[in-house]
Amino acid sequence: MLTIWTKLPEPPEPSCAPRPPPLGSKGLPPFPPENGGRIRTLAGGCDPLVYSVGLKDEVRTVEVKWDCLDDKGKLIKPGTFKVRGLAHKGLGAEYEMCFYNPGTPPWGVKDGSGAWGADHGAPNNVAAAGDWMIVTWPIAEGGCGIIGLDPSGHKRWGDRRGIGKLTADATYVYAFVSDWYVEDTLCRFAAKDGSYQPFVSGEKLRPFDLSLEQIFGGDPPGEVVGMAVHKNDLALAMSGGVLAILDSSSAELKQRIAVRAIEDIAYDKEGRLYVLADGRLNLLAPDDGALEPIIAGTLGKPAHIATDTAGNILVADVGPDSQVKAFGPRGGEPIYTCGKKGGRPIRGAFDKQAMVAMSSVAADSKGNVWVVENWNYPRRVSVWGKDGKLVRDYLGNTGYAGTGCYLHDTNPELAYCGPIEFKLNKLGAQTLNLLFNSRSYVVCRDNSPKTITSGDCLKPRNARPNY
């Protein structure tokens, strides 16, 4: 800051001395005229480099021009003046870490590998695309509604469209888009880079956002409630009680089968199609489309089905057990479960080995089971081994504009996302506690795989949002 004075005054008595403004303010308070007063502040809160005219022996010379006007724009009388300059080293920011976002890095970058997920909703689908994994969100005003993760589990691409249902093979990702600006269309992406791959009919490219009306030649039989693909067959489970088999290259309708109360579908690697209908698990007969019931023990309340690399049937049971259950492909005998029976309570100590609100399940090429927990406390995609134990999880991201996320106003080690409390260890990892009562996570500073530990809830005092 550079200020012109008629003369530099003697310091007044402490009892009547005005308080100086904070360093970097636009000006200094004027002194009484009889003691000399401030005439003009030429530059305040500015970078000295803007006014630099030379640098020698680490001493910088700055030049600020003055038009002989005072702060009110009035031409001053000739006289002798003094100049006072104040400077400091500048204010800056140093990135330390990010919480509640597993992106690497947590912000968007040009190649599409940064950031994670969408703002308007929790994750809702997961599917295996060869050795890649695909995760979706229903609506994306900010961020991506669909992302592709490479074999190491890192995001490599994303697209803005919000996705309702999903399936994939090693080459393509097939998505039913149901968003506020693109409604009820079928899209096809390249699995490895997310590039648009429109369906091809004959030698003609079809629209990338292919409407259900175009597929069914009129009003569709409801909405898509399940999807599955195997080689040339792309199957759609429709809420109107129809199983539609499309050509996976052209999206042309090949077969239409009536299935009452159809809820979900899944192919195994041999091409057998399993159908979840009216809460029961069935195998579709390829000849006549009849359903052959599979005895699968107590399914509870199945929300989604898939198959693993061994051909077992995976069921996300959101009933009282709140587990992923694997059953044999023919007799439906229990093989293994993922997650602690009974799930995770919304209050009390957090248990990393439990799940809630599952909406989708898929098995990766290593045989691990991926599960989407479709709610906000926290938004979570978890990965499980066949021993039923947690391998890793992805926590986050925040809602619209960081809704409900803030730092503690007196304790710099605490941060919050809604009822989730994060305890930050800036030397290495950051620990999170959940305020439904108590719960604790560990999130590594370098965005390496997240783990969770138990811990006592740290009650916040005077915490408030910072938005």
Which structural domains are found in the chain, ordered by start? 2-85 (no CATH), 125-395 (2.120.10.30), 401-452 (no CATH)
Residue-wise pLDDT tens for the chain (467 aa)? 666 666 544 544 433 333 443 444 343 333 334 456 889 988 877 888 888 899 888 888 888 888 999 989 999 888 888 888 887 777 788 887 787 889 988 888 989 899 999 999 999 999 999 999 999 999 998 899 999 999 999 999 999 999 999 999 999 999 999 877 777 899 999 999 999 999 999 999 999 999 999 999 999 999 999 999 999 999 999 999 999 999 999 999 999 999 999 999 999 999 999 999 999 999 999 878 899 998 766 688 999 999 999 999 999 999 999 999 999 987 789 999 999 999 998 877 778 899 999 999 999 999 999 999 999 888 999 999 999 999 999 998 988 888 888 888 898 888 888 888 877 766 654 444 455 433 333 333 444 333 333 332 233 333 333 22
The pLDDT value recorded for residue 385 is 96
Task: Annotate the chain with three-state secondary structure.
Answer: CEEEECCCCCCCCHHHCCCCCCCCCCCCCCCCHHHCCEEEEEECCCCHHHHEEEEECCEEEECCCCCCECCCCCECCCCCCEEEECCCCCCCCCCCCCCCCCCCCCCCCCCCCCCCCECCCCCCEEEEECCEEEEECCCCCCECCEEEECCCCCEEEEECCCEEEEEECCCEEEEEECCCCCCCEEEEEECCCCCECCCEECCEECCCCEEHHHHHCCCCCCCEEEEEEECCEEEEEECCCEEEEEECCCCCEEEEEECCCEEEEEECCCCCEEEEECCEEEEECCCCCCEEECCCCCCCCEEEEEECCCCCEEEEECCCCCEEEEECCCCCCEEEEECCCCCCCCCCCCCCCCCCCEEEEEECCCCCEEEEECCCCCCEEEEECCCCCEEEEEECCCCHHHCCEEECCCCCCEEEECCEEEEECCCCEEEEEECCCCCEEEEECCCCCEEECCCCCCCCCCCCCCC
Q: Rounded CA gap, 339 and 214, in Å? A: 42
